[in-house]
Amino acid sequence: MSTQPVERLYARHITLHFGGVAALSDVSLNVRQGEILAIIGPNGAGKTSLLNCISGLYRPQSGELVFLKDGRAHNLLQLRPHQIARLGIARAFQNIELFRHMTVLENIMLGRHVHMRGNVLTCGLYWWRQQEEEIRHRRRVEEIIDFLEIENIRHKPVGTLAYGLQKRVELARALALDPEILLLDEPMAGMNVEEKEDMARFILDINQEWDVTVVLIEHDMGVVMDLSDRVVVLDFGRVIAEGRPDEIRHNPLVVQAYLGDEALMEHLA
């Protein structure tokens, strides 16, 4: 669409092992500004481990992991998860990580926490700048609620919602960080067709309307092929292929990695 792609994040020769098990070996990839990058691969290929490295939950034993922002290179391996979040990398988890007894609104508001400047004293008094700040954050949260069309469940406790809606709230919480890069771990797992279509539309809208770069792990090949600009394929902790969806579709290595999975083969054929 545009000119030369701008690189936003890159991983070089990442190696992560737990004891004798190598989760990631010599993984390199880059994420470009404004794209939707899908990471696919069979179970246990290391997809979630890779996201965990990016968001700072795991520390790889070796390699480089760099986020480029405002012309500066931030070495993510030296930062803690909350610092990475503040830099603009947000994450929605596969297993919904929300406070079940809090309302949708409260959960999303919590996502704004990294941007809040108040301390015990100013918040306790709730006066002057603190009020302004609260209103500003609440407004942003309402924009997200509007964007994801969850107005009708705004005041409902998350635990009472259907699974598909909880996934949407999880996405909303991640969006509340105002991320530049959004990491989505199987955003559509366990959803029915209609919910998947909704979620796919939201991801596209987030990417296009808000200019958020998306890195996505997904098992549904139909979704991956439709949604992503580029695909990276992992198998046994290694990158075995990388390219546009139509290239991946015909890559013999990928077909081999997925061999035996007929449903998948249909999509790939």
Q: Which residues bind another protein (CB under 8 A)?
A: 139, 142-143, 145-147, 149, 151-152, 154, 201, 204-205, 208-209
Q: In the bound complex, what is the minimum distance in angstroms from residue 152's beta carbon to another protein?
A: 4
Q: In the bound complex, what is the minimum distance in angstroms from residue 128's beta carbon to another protein?
A: 22
Helix%, strand%, coil% for the chain, nearest 5: 45, 25, 30
Two tokens, residue 75: 């070495």
Judged by beta carbon, residue 149 or residue 226, the one nearer another protein is 149
Judged by beta carbon, residue 149 or residue 247, the one nearer another protein is 149
Decide: 58 and 65 in contact? Cβ < 8 Å.
no
Judged by beta carbon, residue 61 or residue 163, the one nearer another protein is 163
How far is residue 196's CA from residue 18's CA, in Å, rounded to a whole number? 34
Render 43-96 in DSSP notation, one character per residue.
Answer: TTSSHHHHHHHHTTSS--SEEEEEEEETTEEEEGGGS-HHHHHHHTEEEE-SS-
Sheet strands (E) in the chain: 7-18, 21-32, 36-40, 62-69, 72-75, 89-92, 181-185, 213-217, 230-235, 238-243
Judged by beta carbon, residue 70 or residue 194, the one nearer another protein is 194
Q: In the bound complex, what is the minimum distance in angstroms from residue 162's beta carbon to another protein?
A: 13
Judged by beta carbon, residue 97 or residue 146, the one nearer another protein is 146
Q: In the bound complex, what is the minimum distance in angstroms from residue 204's beta carbon to another protein?
A: 8
Q: In the bound complex, what is the minimum distance in angstroms from residue 179's beta carbon to another protein?
A: 19
Q: Three-class SS of residue 239?
A: strand
